[in-house]
Chain A
Amino acid sequence: MPLLWLVLILIAASIVGFFLGRQRALHTADGNPRDLHSLPSYYGHNVAFTGLLPALIILVIWVLVQPIIIDNRVSNLIPSTAIPENSTLGLVMSDVRRVADGLDHAVSEGSLSSERASALQADKTDVRALLGESGIAVGNDVRPEILSAAQKYRKINHVGSSVMTALVLLIAGGGFIYAYSVTHKDFRARNIVERGVLGLLILAASLAILTTVGIVLSMFFETLNFFSLHSWKDFYLGTTWAPNFRGDSDLSILPLLWGTLYISVIALLVAVPIGLFAAVYLSEYANNTVRSFAKPLLEILAGIPTIVYGLFALLTVGPALVTFFGQGNNGILGVEWMAGATSVLTAGVVMGIMLIPFVSSLSDDIINAVPQTMRDGSLGLGATKSETIRQVVIPAALPGIVGAVLLAASRAIGETMIVVMGAGAIAKFSLNPLESMTTITTRIVSQLTGDTDFASPETLVAFALGLTLFVLTLGLNVLALYIVRKYREQYD
């Protein structure tokens, strides 16, 4: 792994640089650290960082940018005639990449010499069989233009990697030499190092922005690809979800959105009353003993991983509901309303349990923020405690509680494991909570796991679903934060 080696070389060099820099600084001060401008270790850090950081930054940028440039250069080589019907440039490019990776793999395994790999000709050798021997499956037969593009791809890739290694080492070396040469007892090493550290801190903080940008871009471009293959009108306004891996699928979000919202509503119907009453009781009635043991216990529910709730839905709650509402005369109610363990009710109830502590602890904070004077005023006028809570405390806390409920709703919409295991896989509009329905997150998982082909609308639809989900939850969060913030200003 050459990249790892490169990084290790850089790190080793910077450690050496640290000691050299410190030594030189002490040397120029005749071994008396009090004559130095900064503490000796700052001179060492200066040398180490000046060599390491620019090289590392160049390395990261290069690794990120190289694939884009190569893709551009190589995709120019593919004539538009080489793109088959109902396929895209992206699909052909992924073939090219697979063939190139396959050749690389074959060369590294030793089953193919690198000269031979670059001299292969598709009309003379069966490249597919050749790659199959070294364990790389290529979907279609390798056509000549794909093979030549793949060879070009490999060539540019190799050239790029060697240029990168040389450049990075050069920059690192230059940095070390420069920093070492300016090291002198009057050199203001601390100021330079501190400025560098501040830059690193800013970089770390900006990672949050980078992540958001990454999330949006990674989904945005694939979503655009999807909409070039599938009409956006059908996606947002159609009424059937029937993916078909032979193509010509009905991919509409509405049935999935219906399932998502239905399950979320049931979850909120469970979580909001229980969570709210629990919060009211804990903050207004409970004595310290009850509070100190009930609150942490309830919060355990929030710390349990969702896979546990998923399993609970699939293996405990679902079958329990079936014995109530299903199995003909053997069931407790003797009705045949529920066929399988997965249903909207199963997922909704379990998700509701998960959300109880979420609602209760948020509401608890908000109820506690209502000033005591308002309660005292109400009690002084002769209202009972419950009247005070219902008519004074809750109305005062209402915006905050609404915010908490919205946050819980956003959590419910984005929840994955419980619905994957408890809700089922059938996309339909139905009002019956005992039927199984499917959700946006469930479909993202099912479209992106297993064998996926990133050029088919059936796979790409997952990115459009993901983007919609992201926008939906983000909207709810922003709305909730807005409401909460607006409320808080009234009493601060």
Chain B
Amino acid sequence: MSDTSQTSSRQGSSLLELSERTKKRNAAEARFRGYGMTAIAIGLIMLMILVFTIISKGVGAFQQTFVTVQVELLADKLDKKGNRNLDDIKKVTTFGYSPLIRAAAETSVEQAGIATDLKSKDIAGLLSKNAAATLREYVVSNPNQIGDTVTFRFLAQSRVDGYLKGRVTRESIANDKNISVAQLDLVDQLVDAGVIQKSFNLAFIFGSDASDARPEAAGIGVSMLGSLFMMMVVLVLALPIGVAASIYLEEFAPQNWLTDIIEVNIANLAAVPSIVFGILGLAVFINYLHLPTSAPLVGGLVLTLMTLPTIIISTRASLKAVPPSIRDAALGVGASKMQAVFHHVLPLAAPGILTGTIIGLAQALGETAPLLLIGMVGFIASNAPDGLASGLLSPNSAMPAQIYEWAKRADPAFYERAWGGIIILLVFLITMNTIAVILRRRFERRW
């Protein structure tokens, strides 16, 4: 026994002692395994960085700074004739309201017991340029309030908002015309006095987009409606067409050249770059059929063509999963082939079809590139549609297009909006995918 062990140790092939070569091979094994783990780790870290970036940068958009001021609605400024005639009141433009706001801003600083050297114009400059329009809107809808003193919560200017959120600092505004260090000092004092406060920003979720100069007033609500109308078009068109095409290909299609061409086409369409669908939409729907530019209807049509392959592929998979015995049983009791498919196979495949459709819709909801070409970017989506026809045909934006629009603008305050918009978009996508997963888990049948 000891002899053999000595012999083998001489030859370097003991089972208990690793030879150089085995060590090397084991090290290579460990390294290889390490590479794999590193790869997974990199992927997951990237995902974490992405999620962290989105949340940390976007969560600020849901908070907004407001300034509480008491505005005296002076009758001699707003209603010079004193007859409370709505047409006369409407003649006063937003410029006519700015003196009131200036006065109100100055009074509220005084009331807070703050001494400042700033002029009233600079104090009112802490408010959003939206304030005058908000005030005018209020007065026009409540003309009997003229003469009273009303408490308003105006949006603060985006620099003030940025200062409270840490985006704007005293150093960063050295060359900024919109705000001065003295104004920031005043902001600090007003925050202590409770005049300036941060609170939840519902207007970001439900509001409309605003022009370049008013990032604080921009919201994603109107483009959300645009996306909603597009998804309606996609659902109404893609689901029936996709299901019909899948039923034909899966249940009825004979093996011939036409079927082959259709199959090859569907496979290829699934891989065509989305921008090409945008070119198709521009050339066919807008240039040829003269449908209105920027309309959610056109966006929906383009996205329908884009999602059809996804829906067809998943529908075919779920039709295929229904066992032939179901069809045979239906045919056996005298149903026609069509009846067997529509009365028995289709209902059994419905959960799978629905899941595939929801995933296709989620994909369409996040798609941006084709929308750029049909003009859903580049204007301010400010008016919410007031009905089905205007929702489909009047120009609108869509959520991803709105995010892109914000990312293009020069003011960094819009970047926060863009990240915030992404949070909302992702909430929609996560919800849709969760519903799809739940549907699949709940209704999936194993035959």
Contact = CB atoms under 8 A, between A and B. Distances in A.
A222 B40 CA distance: 46
B29 A384 contact: yes
A473 to B, nearest CB: 6
Contacts of B31: 386
B274 A416 contact: yes
Contacts of A278: 36, 39-40, 43
Contacts of A410: 271
Interface in B15-54: 25-26, 28-29, 31-33, 35-40, 42-44, 46-47, 50, 53-54
B276 interface: yes
Given A214-B280, A449-B375, A481-B267, A297 B53 contact: no
B253 interface: yes
Nearest to A442: B275
B68 interface: no
A454 B389 CA distance: 28
Contacts of B283: 218-219, 222, 463
A386 B276 contact: no
Nearest to A463: B279
Contacts of A277: 35-36, 38-40
B257 to A, nearest CB: 12
Interface stretch (A117-125, A178-186, A249-257, A306-314): A306-314
Contacts of B276: 215, 219, 414, 466, 469-470
Given A297-B44, A311-B407, A386-B28, A415 B35 contact: no
A316 B284 contact: no
A294 B40 contact: yes
Contacts of A474: 268, 271-272
Interface stretch (B86-94, B135-143, B419-427): B419-427
B278, B290, B369, B375 pick with most chain A CB within 10 angstroms: B369
A470 B433 CA distance: 30
B336 interface: yes
Interface residues of B, number: 86
Contacts of B365: 305
Given A277-B38, A414-B274, A481-B267, A306 B366 contact: yes
A314 B407 contact: yes
Given A200-B244, A215-B272, A441-B273, A307 B366 contact: yes
Contact of B44 (A219, A298, A415, A444): A298
A204 B373 contact: no
A308 B275 contact: no
A331 interface: no
Interface in A31-89: 63-64, 67
Nearest to B246: A205
Interface in A385-438: 385-387, 389-390, 407, 410-411, 413-417, 420-421
A209 B271 contact: no
A301 B29 CA distance: 29
B59 interface: no
Interface stretch (B177-185, B196-204, B258-266): B258-266
A430 to B, nearest CB: 24
B282 A448 contact: yes
Contacts of B289: 63-64, 67
Given A208-B245, A294-B40, A463-B283, A285 B33 contact: yes
A212 B269 contact: yes
A416 B312 CA distance: 24
Interface string B298-341: 00000001001100100000000000000000000000101000
Interface string B405-434: 001000000010011001001100100010
Contacts of B57: 315
Contacts of A462: 279
Interface string B349-389: 00000000000001001111100110101100000000001
Contact of B372 (A304, A449, A473): A449
A353 interface: yes
B43 A445 contact: no
Interface in A271-330: 273-278, 280-282, 284-286, 294, 297-298, 300-301, 303-308, 310-312, 314-316
A411 B312 CA distance: 20
A198 B265 contact: no
Contact of A454 (B275, B287, B362, B407): B287
A129 interface: no
A307, A407, A474 pick with most chain B CB within 10 angstroms: A307
* Chain A contact residues: helix, strand, loop or mixed: helix
Contact of B280 (A190, A218, A316): A218
Given A285-B33, A356-B43, A67 B407 contact: no
Given A205-B248, A222-B283, A384-B26, A445 B269 contact: no
A74 to B, nearest CB: 15
A307 B240 CA distance: 29
B186 interface: no
Given A211-B269, A311-B422, A448 B373 contact: yes
A70 to B, nearest CB: 11
Contacts of A194: 336, 338
Contacts of A274: 39, 42-43
Contacts of B277: 215
B425 A305 contact: yes
Interface string A185-216: 00000100010011011111111110110110
B232 interface: no
A445 B275 contact: yes
B288 A67 contact: yes
Given A201-B252, A277-B38, A356-B43, A441 B265 contact: no
Contacts of B415: 315
B241 interface: yes
28 contacts: A194-B338, A204-B241, A205-B249, A207-B245, A208-B262, A208-B269, A209-B261, A215-B272, A219-B283, A277-B35, A277-B39, A301-B46, A303-B429, A304-B426, A308-B425, A308-B426, A353-B46, A357-B43, A360-B43, A411-B273, A413-B273, A414-B273, A415-B273, A416-B273, A444-B275, A445-B372, A448-B279, A463-B279
Given A286-B40, A444-B279, 5 more contacts: A208-B269, A208-B309, A209-B262, A307-B422, A356-B46
Interface of A: 1, 63-64, 67, 101, 190, 194, 197-198, 200-209, 211-212, 214-215, 218-219, 222, 273-278, 280-282, 284-286, 294, 297-298, 300-301, 303-308, 310-312, 314-316, 353, 356-357, 360, 384-387, 389-390, 407, 410-411, 413-417, 420-421, 441, 444-445, 448-450, 454, 462-463, 466, 469-470, 473-474, 477-478, 481
Interface of B: 25-26, 28-29, 31-33, 35-40, 42-44, 46-47, 50, 53-54, 57, 240-242, 244-245, 247-249, 252-253, 261-262, 265-269, 271-280, 282-284, 287-290, 305, 308-309, 312, 336, 338, 362, 365-369, 372-373, 375, 377-378, 389, 400, 403-404, 407, 415, 418-419, 422, 425-426, 429, 433
